[in-house]
Structure 1
């Protein structure tokens, strides 16, 4: 299992930045929801940032 730090990309309404170790990936909130489930966006909407625990299969879908 790996932890991903998520934040919104400033100036956008649906682009999320994921930090995986030293790597940054940007994707739409819709794609994030499809990979990790709709609950993954809860803290992101409420706090502006979230930490998601990902299994190796989910991490491979991010590339």
Structure 2
């Protein structure tokens, strides 16, 4: 059984509870968001994308 949920909703839920539980400083949140945004436009982007797809396949068990 696969559950269809937009990735942005999952990220928003994890982000909300992560901020509520861990209480990180605001500057750290900004640095992580900006760093991730800038990293997506580097030579590492294909490796990140393939790793993400492999992780989704493992979770959804579609690699069999």
- Whether these two folds match at TM > 0.5 is no
- Between Structure 1 and Structure 2, the one with more helix by share is 2
TM score, norm. by length of structure 2: 0.28
Higher Rg: 2
